[in-house]
Structure 1
Amino acid sequence: MAPSLRVAALAAAAALAPLASAQSLTVDNTTIPATTDTVAPAAANVSTSSSNSTVDLFSSEAVQLTDSVLTNLTALNLSSIDMFTFDDASTASKRSSKCKRSTQCKVMPGNLLYPISLVWDVFGLLLGPGALIKTVPLASPCYTNWNNENTATCAFLTNNWSNDSYIHADDPTSVMWPLYQGATCMPTDEPSNQCTLGGYPSYAVSVSNIAQIQLAVNFARNANLRLVVKNTGHDFNGKSAGAGALSIWTHNLKQIQYYSSLTLNGYTGPAMKLGAGVQAFEMYEAANQYGVTVVGGEGKTVGVMGGYILGGGHSPLSSLYGMAADQVLSMEVVLPNGQFVTASSTSNPDLFWALRGGGGSTFGVVTSVTVKAYPKMQVSVSTFNFVSGGNITADLFWEGIAAYMKYLPTFTDAGTYSYFDIIQIATDTYYFAMAPFFAPKLSQAQLEALIAPLLSDLSALGIPVNALSYWNYDNFYDAWNLHFPLESVGVTTLKTASRLFPRANFEPATGNATLFNETIAAIRYTVEAGSTVLAFNIAANPAGGYPDNAVNPAWRNTVLHAIQAISWDAGSDTATIAAACLKLTNDWQAAWRATCPDAGAYMSEGDILEPNFQQSFYGTANYARLYAYKQQVDPWGLFYAPTGVGSEDWYITGQVTGLPTQNGQLCHV
């Protein structure tokens, strides 16, 4: 870096950074103190009252990087400040042309144009103490090459890596599906092995206010960095991974505000405003405290207002109220140009439409969401199972599965949500487990009456039902908390794919019996071939209707969201893993797609290799509108995520066919 630019960068740090008194910056062997007496904050407190006829801002949202702050900074004639300024579409073509002259790819460590350490130091100073985190992989204490080896920590990680999603959510860069990170630093008992960043971002910003997000967005855009967003890291395709990237970590934006009666954009009733980092267990606890019910996911650690709701968000309450995205009244967002705006039906309506179902890490960084709340309700729950063996042949077991599945439309019409497994536990031996059958608003007697015809049909087939149990609760939270398991995560020996099966596939009496039989046969084929199936009996077409938004239209016809997985032995080589992944996509999943070719799949739990993901994850008409809007709001291509809107315009270098990790450089097609 030229001396003049070093001086400018140093001056920028001294002029801008919100620092603790002990911080300093060293350049060319000269240490300059940077104290609260000598520096000015790189953010301004603005009014918490919204100017867009929506709810008030959280205190974290009132701390913003403003035009006036930047005007004062640029008045200092500091050339390096350009790294952190806002941008708009009028300057995008100029800046893009400059980037294209130098590279078609996002810069990575080791590239000539990658920001030098001093620039990262300045960035860290602007963000404030502790906000910029240089990535240290979560499992690095198991290795010697990070100089932080710790036997006790490694033992804890090894024992909890796959059964404790909290440890991954609470880490700034860990993802819950490390297959797409490259599995380059997993817990091990061989400390001499090498732990590398692989697809982990190089840096993360632990966000506590809007100004930090704006600085990160502006820096990534202006420096041509790859940018990713992590909330909890739940996405099945590892969308928060990215080699060399800067990550915006929204996990700590956890403010919650309850409104007993809110009038907003045609809605009047109870509502909650929740920060992007609020997880399901936190949201449900708060809603229960206020005596209401809010639509969210079944997984305990899912970040509800992050990628979950942006991707649509299926819920134990979907058969009653629709998708989580259908509940949104307004959203606060940092756009790709760095500006902070409100999205609602009356403010930035195109953005509001796109964010509700169009996918995360695509149109901006959502910082909070205001959603409808519903009255407190009773919930009844049932669990049971049946298994083949003895007099229950494999054919008879599958007759039992068919007996259950013909009731899928009936059950969702009653507002229920079922979560079940179908597993081959040995050759010609199969296991079906209902865990749980979840019935919001129904009494135990009503649930027993609803299930009775199914139990009668199974009895008539000679299939005994095991461990049949019922419970009733006077609130949603207790039923949810006691009956949904903590997610299994962190596994690198399997890959998943999913399908949204329409109602028409499960109506043999009034619809197409041949199609019903073909659907059961397709599911059986994959299970017999070695697949495990985890599925949800769910509908998202509530009697009260749903708003116009970007939720995949396939959801409105669905009664079965089914996930299947293929596995391989630990230690398998790349070729073996890639072949298994391709088998899942091109064989097992193809059998499912053939029964409903015009349906789709849930993007957050779908196949990263899904053919024509645009139609499958978004719907053809929706995708055309989303893609056009993506070009308008993000002409820089700043936000990229695998299978996200516009992702077909980019590729990752060095990928192996069938195993698309995020370990390479992100380049424009």
Structure 2
Amino acid sequence: MLSLYQSCMLSYTVFLLFVSVVKTTESAPNWNTLNETVGGRLHKAKPFSSPCFPDFDGISVPRNKAACKIIEDNYLNATYRSSQFGNFMNTQWESCMSTSAQCTLDSSDPSDSLAWTELPCDQGSIAPYYIDVQNYEDVQAALAFSRTTEVPCRSSTIGSLGLWTRNLDKISYNASFVPVGGSQPFPAMTIGAGVPWVDAYSFADANNVTIVGGYSETVGASGGWIMGGGHSVLSPTLGLGVDRVLEYKLVTPDGEYRTANAHTNSDLFWALRGGGGGTFGVVLESTSMVEPMAIPLQVASVSFNSTTETGLQFLRLLTNNSLQWAQEGWGGHLTSSGFISVTPLLTLEEAQASMQNAVDFVQTQNGTVVIETLPSWFAFFAKYTIPAQTAVGSADLAASRLIPYSLFETQEGRDSFIQLVTSLPGSFLEIDVVTPFLYNATENSTSVTPAWRNAVWHVLMGSEFVWNSTLAEKVAAFEFTNNCTAGLISIAPNSGAYMCLTTHFFLFQNEANVYEPNYEQSFWGGNYDRLLAIKHRYDPLGLLDCWKCVGWKGVDDSRSRCYPRVD
């Protein structure tokens, strides 16, 4: 029962930077020189599914049936995808959506031959070149290449240079970590940009500590998750990822290798704590405060086969109990047919009493109920999260909204949420209880929208399109998602949305509507102007430009041409 959009959620981190080649051509001397500079670690790349196709970029090529069979068997597998350069968790980002240049299989049946006989294979938005990053000098070389050729930077575009940070996979624990320039020690873990959360959790468990991180095993621990906000089912009590990060090591677009913390480059540190990945620099590692022990958790897992009627009844139960559960420290993922939640604040007996209403309802529906104590976060993660990873490889579109506690204080407010759900048939619904509701954050210490601080739920709704959708059908799917956004704004007009570009090696996923109106306010509240000033200070040429990131150049910029025009 994992979330569809996990922890601004799913797969291996890497931080990916793409450099759009706008004013240059792929001349051999340029690429050869770059390859020599990075020690021969510049590689060409094709889309993940290209071995299945009898053509590539308009040229006939032999199908590689053996390689294709491996891809078909693993097309929906997040772990396998995250081990490969040249694909995304959500396949719309592999393509140029406005022109349908893509190389995509049918996610409902990856072995269906129609996918490679009816449509061609094109490079789309997959980077044709990438660097296997081993150190900060490799990133400096990439950014120098960008600056000297006047190449702007962004997350995904036609004709790009990717930075593959998978091999930055070191993890360490220091019981008395002192940030550069500081004096106060903290128990902390330092994590390289290529480390997925499953490895970080295993390491933390071996050292008998607890670290706050993403809900999927392949979400990266030092990528977009920890720069966009970083929500967790432990966030209600232990805070967001940005609340706990102590230090970053990164290369900024001006080519400098920097340390950013509360004492050194503090403006950059503030921006990185919520300003979003792919904007202020290429982070090579992050250091985050940990709890100096493995924390026992009470776990509640309930599920039943819902109908439209019983699903709405269960959603009413969830809204009616939301404030009580928030005060008791429960965090988790809720749907109309069940939930998985955890809290470190209650005893087993208290947890059973807390969940009695939900248990009674589910049992009347002949559902399943488990309420138990597990000794640590990793024990919970291994038992409940890893076996239930959500399939990937489809084009899923999300709208998100942070739902404030005030909505749940009145019957009118609670009814408005139910009415919204019933007014948008065909939308998926996911309720993430991942807000830092009980966490005592220092005011203005991070750059995330302040809406996080008084929210109880992070709600996602949306749509999808399929491998052979026409441009009109894609636009319709985005327009439906826009309707979801409008509905969410109508019930929480003064709140915000979660802009989290989560990276997973070459893969990324965004939990916000890419056509979010008034995105500066939705994503960052009153922090946007300060973020923009910091952006200009460290990236005066705008190399790290991306869609609706801080400093975005707008829909008319050439690097935005693959996004369909949606009203």
Structure 2 length normalisation: TM-score? 0.85
Partner of 1:211: 137
1:223 equivalent among 141, 149, 158: 149
Given candidates 410, 419, 423, the residue that maps to 1:521 is 419
Q: Which amino acid aligns with 1:596?
A: A
> Following the alignment from structure 2 to structure 1, what is the Cα–Cα distance between the partners of residues 547 and 27?
28
Which one has the largest radius of gyration? 1
Structure 2 counterpart of 1:123 = 34
Cα distance between partner residues in 1 of 2:536 and 2:157: 22
Deviation at 1:202, TM superposition (A): 2.2
Equivalences for residues 384-403 of structure 1 within 5 A: 384-388=302-306, 394=309, 397-403=311-317
Structure 1 position 181 matched with structure 2 position 79:
no
Please state whether the residue corresponding to 2:236 is helix, strand or coil: helix
2:475 matched residue in structure 1: 578
Question: How many angstroms apart in 2 are the aligned matches of 1:538 and 1:266?
Answer: 32
2:415 is paired with a residue whose SS is helix
Paired letter, 1:622: N
- 1:616 and 1:543 map into 2 onto residues whose CA distance is 22
Q: Is the 8 A contact 1:418 1:438 kept in 2?
A: yes
Structure 2 CA distance for aligned equivalents of residues 542 and 631 of structure 1: 35
Q: Per-residue CA shift, 1:77-133, capped at 9, x if unaligned?
A: xxxxxxxxxxxxxxxxxxxxxxxxxxxx9644xx6x32511220111011013x111
1:199 matched to 2:94? The reply is no
1:601 corresponding residue in structure 2: 497
1:397-436 to structure 2, matched below 5 A, reads: 397-422=311-336, 432-434=337-339, 436=340
Q: Does 1:256 align with 2:171?
A: yes
C-alpha distance in 2, partners of 1:333/1:247? Answer: 16
Specify the alignment match of 2:464 in structure 1.
Answer: 567
Return the offset for 1:398. 2.2
Supply the distance in 1 between the matched residues of 2:465 and 2:213 (Cα, whole angstroms): 33
Residues 1:266 and 1:598: Cα distance change in structure 2 (over 3 Å)? farther
Match of 2:356 in 1: 452
Matching residue of 2:384: 483
Is the contact made by 1:455 and 1:465 (CA closer than 8 Å) also made in structure 2?
no
Q: What is the one-letter code of the residue matched to 1:167?
A: Y
1:549 aligns with 2:473: no
Distance 2:416 2:221 in 1: 36
In structure 1, what is the equivalent of residue 343 of structure 2? 439
What's the counterpart of residue 269 of structure 2? 352
Deviation of the 1:608 alpha carbon = 0.4
Aligned position for 2:15: none
Q: Which amino acid aligns with 2:382?
A: N
Residues 379/106 of structure 1: CA separation in 2 closer, same or farther (3 Å cut): closer
Q: Which residue of 1 aligns with 2:84?
A: 171
Alignment-mate amino acid for residue 320 of structure 2: K
Structure 2 residue aligned with 1:633: 538
1:465/1:444 CA distance change after superposition, 3 Å:
farther
Match of 2:233 in 1: 316
Q: 1:150 to 1:659 in 2, by over 3 A?
A: farther
Q: Which residue of 2 aligns with 1:19?
A: none
* Partner Cα distance (2:318, 2:335) in 1: 13
Q: Contact 2:554–2:560 at 8 Å: present in 1 too?
A: no
RMSD over aligned CA atoms reads 2.3
1:246-395 counterparts in 2 under 5 A? 246-264=161-179, 265=182, 267-374=184-291, 375-388=293-306, 394=309
Structure 2 unaligned runs (5+)? 1-18, 96-100, 106-111, 501-510
Q: After superposition, what is the alpha-carbon deviation per residue over 1:337-362, rounded to whole angstroms, capped at 9, x for unaligned?
A: 11101001110000000001100010
Letter in 1 for 2:149: A
Counterpart CA distance in 2 for 1:607 and 1:148 is: 39
Output the CA distance in 2 between the equivalents of 1:132 and 1:644.
Answer: 27
Contact 1:134 1:202 in 2 (8 A): yes
Aligned pair count reads: 514
Distance 1:328 1:267, change over 3 A: farther
Contact 2:152 2:542 survives alignment (8 Å): no
Q: Which residue matches 1:152?
A: 66
1:269 Cα offset (Å): 3.2
Asked if the contact 1:135/1:173 (under 8 Å) is kept, the reply is yes
Cα 1:655/1:497, change in 2 over 3 Å: same
Query: Which segment drifts farther, 339-348 or 438-447?
Result: 438-447
- Residue of structure 1 equivalent to 2:527: 622
Q: Distance in 2 between matches of 1:128 and 1:301?
A: 28
Task: Say which SS state the counterpart of residue 647 (structure 1) adopts.
Answer: coil
C-alpha change, 1:397 and 1:272, in structure 2 (3 Å) is closer
User: Separation in 2 of the partners of 1:385 and 1:653?
Assistant: 42
For 1:560, give the aligned amino acid.
W
Report the CA distance between 1:463 and its aligned residue: 5.0
Which stretch has the larger CA shift, 339-348 or 648-657? 648-657
Alpha-carbon deviation of 1:576? Answer: 1.5
Report the Cα distance in structure 2 between the residues aligned to 1:306 and 1:543, rounded to whole angstroms.
Answer: 23
CA contact (8 A) 2:208 2:294 kept: yes
**Offset, 1:539:** 2.5
What TM-score do you get using the length of structure 1 for normalisation? Answer: 0.73
Match of 1:540 in 2: 436
Q: CA deviation at 1:263?
A: 3.6
